[in-house]
Amino acid sequence: MADFPLLSPQSRSYTPGSFAVRRSKTLSGKEVTVRRTNAAVDYRLRFTFTSGSIVQQSQIFSHYAVHNRFQPFDLPSSVLQGSDLTFPAGYQWIYAKTPTVVHDPGVVRVSVELLLVAPYDI
Amino acid sequence: MSTFPSLIPNSINFDFGTPQISEYSAFGIGPIRFRHTDFINGQTFSLKYQGLDQASIELLRTHYSSNSGTAGEFTVPAAVVGSVNSVDSASIYRYTTTPTEEHIGFKRYNVTISIRAIEGVLVKFILVGESAQLGSLAAFDSYVFSGAAPFILDADDADPAVATSLILDSGGA
């Protein structure tokens, strides 16, 4: 397992985890909600890495090729810099989907979406 | 029950919710509608925040987390939802979806919060007698009646200033 490449994103968005709930609606319009777990799931981070060369693209591809949605990994502080985000202890990240790359003249943009998962052994 | 942070959004959009009405129809009779409560529920609000600082985003993160995400209920200060009259300060909300932060710079954030009133507003009529007012009071003295009936109480000085009298005839006493 290797950490995500030591890169600084040009843009970032974050969706915190959510709890599994069951909702039932009654005739009176009241809505009953039952929370079914104490653990929030589905934390997501999206990054866009922009550069003038394919070096970052290659680093991300190399990392993705090894880890993808199977092998969890940690994030370096550089990709979360300034956000003060915290996550449940022991949880790690996997790729939510395959990264996408846009090549414009002289500009390479790589978009990455990561999903936080509970610890598991492989 | 928690209270949503008192952060005024840059913009809001919302709908008016739906009354709790069901409709029954069968062959030969027209639709019959039942109103189950006088509440109008389900108002959805989209609160857009732009350029939040670190302290403000922490308020939103902490509230979402301590509220058990989309499971828990909370109230929202009236100012946050623009003081619209389709809800009131006692309305109860849940998060519709998990909010997504956009990190736009160093410790600067855009975020859109979607919430829905699960108990919106109770539709009721309040009768206000705006122009009615109590007339002014006139001073009076008290006397012990003695002598022969009828006794005449003359209320000339009372407001409205219409000559009025009350005759007490205790003939049968």
Report yes or no: A68 at the B interface, CB cutoff 8 Å: no
| Average pLDDT value over all residues in chain A | 89
pLDDT above 60: residue A42: yes
ipTM summary value:
0.71
Amino acid at A26: T
In the numeric block, which tokens belong to residue B15?
Answer: 């709908």
Query: Which of B36, B100, B107 shows the shortest C-beta gap to A13?
Result: B100
The pLDDT confidence band at residue B159, using thresholds 50, 70 and 90, is: low
Weakest mean pLDDT among A4-13, A85-94, B11-20: B11-20
The pLDDT confidence band at residue B56, using thresholds 50, 70 and 90, is: very high
The 10s digit of each residue's pLDDT in B80-109 is 987 777 788 889 999 999 999 999 988 999
Q: pTM of this prediction? A: 0.69
Dist CA A75 CA A8 (whole Å): 11
pLDDT above 90: residue B19: no
Residues in A closer than 8 angstroms to B73, CB to CB, are 33
Q: Name which of B120, B116, B94 is nearest B40 in CA terms.
A: B120
Residues in A closer than 8 angstroms to B106, CB to CB, are 82
Q: Which residue would you say has higher pLDDT here, A38 or B56?
A: B56
The pLDDT confidence band at residue B155, using thresholds 50, 70 and 90, is: low
Q: Which residue would you say has higher pLDDT here, B22 or B145?
A: B22
What mean pLDDT comes out for the span B44-55? 94
What mean pLDDT comes out for the span A66-89? 91
Q: Name which of B48, B44, B46, B63 is nearest B109 in CA terms.
A: B48
CATH architecture observed for domain B2-122: Beta Barrel (2.40)
Which of A30, A87, A116 best probes binding to B when mutated, by most B CB atoms within 10 angstroms?
Answer: A30
| Average pLDDT value over all residues in chain B | 83
- Kindly list the domain boundaries of chain A, sorted by start residue: 11-117
Percent of chain B at pLDDT > 90 equals: 36
Note which residues in 29-68 of chain B have CB less than 8 A from chain A.
36-37, 39, 41-42, 54, 58, 61, 64-65, 68
* pLDDT at residue B60, rounded to an integer: 96
Total beta-carbon pairs less than 8 A apart between chain A and chain B: 69
The pLDDT confidence band at residue B160, using thresholds 50, 70 and 90, is: low
Which of B63, B98, B104, B114 best probes binding to A when mutated, by most A CB atoms within 10 angstroms?
Answer: B98
Q: Name which of B52, B44, B43, B64 is nearest B111 in CA terms.
A: B52
What mean pLDDT comes out for the span B22-34? 77
The pLDDT confidence band at residue A44, using thresholds 50, 70 and 90, is: very high
Backbone CA torsion sign across B61, B64, B67, B68: negative
Report yes or no: A22 at the B interface, CB cutoff 8 Å: no
Report yes or no: B104 at the A interface, CB cutoff 8 Å: yes
Query: Which of A16, A28, A33 shows the shortest C-beta gap to B61?
Result: A16
Percent of chain B at pLDDT > 70 equals: 86
The pLDDT confidence band at residue A30, using thresholds 50, 70 and 90, is: confident
Are residues B88 and B78 in contact, defined by beta-carbon separation less than 8 angstroms?
A: yes
The pLDDT confidence band at residue B144, using thresholds 50, 70 and 90, is: confident
Residues in B closer than 8 angstroms to A39, CB to CB, are none
In the numeric block, which tokens belong to residue B65?
Answer: 């987390």
How far does the CA of residue B164 sit from the closest CA of chain A (Å)?
56
How far does the CA of residue B82 sit from the closest CA of chain A (Å)?
24
Q: Do B54 and A19 touch (CB under 8 A)?
A: no
Which of B53, B60, B101 best probes binding to A when mutated, by most A CB atoms within 10 angstroms?
Answer: B101
* pLDDT at residue B22, rounded to an integer: 82
